Structure 1
Amino acid sequence: MALPLHKQASSIVYYIALLALISLFNSCSCSEYKRLNYSDAPSSWGPASVTWYGAPTGAGPDDNGGGCGFKNVNLPPFSSMTACGNPTIFKSGKGCGACYQVKCTSHPACSGKPSTITITDACLDGVCLDAPVHFDMSGTSFGSMAQPGREDELRHAGKLQIQYTRVPCNYPGLNIAFHVEEGSNPVYFAILIEYEDGDGDLASVDLMEGAGPTAGTWTPMRESWGAIWRLDSDHALQGPFSIRLSTLTSGKTLVASNVIPADWQPLSTYRSIVNYSN
């Protein structure tokens, strides 16, 4: 039986409204997805546990280094705001250089305000395996979660439950640097890579020689340990060297052309003119 005209009109209006609502919902979902994109804003907060090690106001390791190979992490730009990551965070070294925000509300001395830390070391056993995500922080970074003047009180708590989120790294005024490691020679070349804006982590590194039999060809390097990558060559490497980096988190690629000169020396640092924020 046919519907009366006024009911047909009501049905048409209903379906038009329904389609408009669906369209609006889809539009909002798309906008929300973009807003939460890691590269644009911090991702959602999750639970983690934290401890601290080293001197109460130090950078963690006694030598101001750590399992990522970074040096002088007590000095800018790290400024002791560092942490070890458990296996979930350290990722067999590929998590080195990643940046996080942490905050605590589980202790009376907590400020509830976020602090930004960089992964510079590893904690792969003991208390660091008691939770899916654990940070063993420097004394300085642990204390930074406290209300002013209550840093020691918070450190005396020992172990805390906190919230954490991944954030882009930011090194104002710095471009990516390559430190040629001790022991490097014409057939063994190792570099420490640091100060990558954005993701901060690396999935792969390739080297291109400027001369010799493989000039102009990208050769994969392999992770030696932490943030140190190496190339064992079957011939004497000839510079200058270009380095291609691909990040772990978002897969972004960047090339530092001819960044390491032909007369490179071990224990020297060569600074590029590029970064992921450029």
Structure 2
Amino acid sequence: MAKIAIAIVCIAATALLMAFGAMAQGSGWETGTATFYGDMSGGETMKGACGYGDLIKQGYGLETAALSTALFNNGLTCGACYEIQCYNDPQWCVPGSITITATNFCPPDPSKPSDNGGWCNAPRKHFDLSMPMFVKLVKDYHAGIIPVQYRRVPCVKKGGMRFEMKGNPNAILVLVYNVAGAGDVTAVSVKGSNTGWIPMTRNWGENWQTDQKLVGQSLSFQVTASDGRKVESDNVVPANWNFGQNFEGNQF
């Protein structure tokens, strides 16, 4: 009888945990708005306020968005991933959702109020999507601006984290991209073959800088994401590296 009672308790506890899990999975949605830029070819996929280069070549594809002031957070949100779905607009919404990476900034328009064209003005939470992503949410792209629900989700990336060497011998700049997990980076440290760990400073977007002289040394990186997780890539950059090259490290 005791074994049966224990089994019943375990089954009940499992069911309760599953119920809590289901509730958690369905929570976390916030409301905002979305528009689109470019055309069905994607358009304007080069560069942006996060410092990324060719988004197609770098693996981000067209699954990207420019974020309004409230969401962009001065570039701290670069690399974060969001699930987005059209919300509470039967005229335009279709079922389903998309997942995008934050790769750019949608600047505010001081000449327009937030309720009449200034979609990226504070305090609005707005996503400016590539047209191919936008049309997955609506019956017709003529919807223009749509209400959406959105939530942060883990980023899923192919391959390892990437480090692109930029700058000059006196001020080395490293672009960190293709970051999985939380996606957005809060700290980067570098270690040369002749140094200890050196904290880098965010220059802009996901470009991280140090004034230490590291040319001619093999380099290791520690990257910390916004969820506190840290990944170390030892000797990922060989001693004969050059500016303009990029290297693949470990991944979250």
Residue aligned with 1:203, SS: strand
- Describe the shift of the 1:162–1:35 C-alpha distance in structure 2 as closer, same or farther (beyond 3 A): closer
Among 132, 152, 155, the alignment partner of 1:169 is 155
CA separation in 1, counterparts of 2:154 and 2:43? 22
Report the counterpart of residue 136 of structure 2 in structure 1. 144
Query: Quick check: 1:80–1:138 contact (8 Å CA) kept in 2?
Result: yes
CA separation in 1, counterparts of 2:230 and 2:179? 12
Residue aligned with 2:84, SS: strand
CA separation in 2, counterparts of 1:71 and 1:142? 22
Among 15, 38, 50, the alignment partner of 2:34 is 50
Q: How big is the shift at 1:120?
A: 0.5
Spell out the pairing of 1:13-162 with structure 2 (5 A cutoff).
28=16, 32=20, 36=24, 44-53=28-37, 55-59=38-42, 61=44, 64-75=46-57, 77-105=59-87, 106-126=89-109, 127-129=119-121, 131-146=123-138, 150=139, 153=140, 155-162=141-148
Among 177, 180, 200, the alignment partner of 2:165 is 180
- Describe the shift of the 1:88–1:33 C-alpha distance in structure 2 as closer, same or farther (beyond 3 A): farther
CA separation in 1, counterparts of 2:222 and 2:214? 20
CA separation in 1, counterparts of 2:175 and 2:58? 17
Aligned partner letter, 2:20: E
CA separation in 2, counterparts of 1:48 and 1:160? 9
Aligned partner letter, 2:133: S
> What runs of 5+ residues in structure 2 fail to find an aligned partner?
1-11, 110-118
Among 201, 223, 231, the alignment partner of 2:202 is 223
Aligned partner letter, 1:242: S
- Describe the shift of the 1:139–1:75 C-alpha distance in structure 2 as closer, same or farther (beyond 3 A): farther
Q: How big is the shift at 1:110?
A: 2.1
**Is 1:197 matched with 2:197?**
no
Q: How big is the shift at 1:226?
A: 0.9
Query: Quick check: 1:206–1:221 contact (8 Å CA) kept in 2?
Result: yes
- Which TM-score applies when normalising by structure 2? 0.82
CA separation in 1, counterparts of 2:177 and 2:26? 22
Q: Tell me the number of residue pairs that the alignment of Structure 1 and Structure 2 aligns.
A: 231
Identity %: 27
Residue deviations 1:77-124, cap 9 Å, x none?
Answer: 322111011223222112111110111141533212110111010013
Query: Quick check: 2:187–2:225 contact (8 Å CA) kept in 1?
Result: yes
CA separation in 2, counterparts of 1:129 and 1:78? 26
CA separation in 1, counterparts of 2:238 and 2:178? 20
Among 239, 254, 257, the alignment partner of 2:231 is 254
Indicate the RMSD between aligned Cα atoms, in angstroms.
2.6
Residue deviations 1:222-258, cap 9 Å, x none?
Answer: 111111111122x45552111100111x111110111
Which structure has the larger Rg over C-alpha atoms? 1
Residue aligned with 1:92, SS: helix
Report the counterpart of residue 242 of structure 1 in structure 2. 220
Q: Which runs of 4+ in 1 moved over 6 A?
A: none
Residue aligned with 2:50, SS: coil
Q: How big is the shift at 1:131?
A: 4.4
> What runs of 5+ residues in structure 1 fail to find an aligned partner?
1-23
CA separation in 2, counterparts of 1:75 and 1:160? 30
Query: Quick check: 1:58–1:74 contact (8 Å CA) kept in 2?
Result: no
Q: How big is the shift at 1:269?
A: 1.1
Aligned partner letter, 1:275: Q
Residue aligned with 2:185, SS: coil
